[in-house]
Amino acid sequence: MAKQSVRLTVPQFIPRYRVTLVSEGGHTAPYGALRDSAAAAAALRPCFDGLDREQFLVCCLDAKNVSIGVNIVSIGTLTLSLVHPREVYKPAILLNACAIIAVHNHPS
């Protein structure tokens, strides 16, 4: 009779997470739907006022192209800002955005 080995397994703990959004203030933009680049630039320009370094932002839009939130993806140096696609799409997914507008500044 062949000997069979018995292997005991320990249950693996699988953590459960909850993701939440935290509002960090904002600014008033009376532009409604952002239908073109001029409207987007006018609405998002206050985000860049007085900055001395490059920043890359994502503006998340609903189905009517109205901004539902802006997220700072990257704060760089005077001449560059590193951006990874994962960080661009993360706030859009969390906000259930229909579309995004990616914007950055050139402080120099």
> Which domains does the chain show, CATH number per domain?
37-104 (3.40.140.10)
pLDDT at 56: 95
37-46 per-position pLDDT tens digit: 999 998 899 8
Instruction: Tell me which residue has tokens 């009517």.
Output: 64
Burial class (CB in 10 A: 0-12, 13-18, 19+), 54: buried
User: Which residues have CB under 8 Å from 54's CB, separation 6+?
Assistant: 74, 75, 76, 77, 78, 79, 80, 81, 104, 105, 106, 107
**Run means of pLDDT, 10 residues per run, the chain, 108 residues:** 75 84 76 88 89 93 93 90 94 95 89
The secondary structure element, H or E, covering residue 85 is: helix 85-94
pLDDT at 108: 72
User: Which residues have CB under 8 Å from 32's CB, separation 6+?
Assistant: 66
Cα gap 71→65, rounded to integer Å: 16
pLDDT at 31: 67
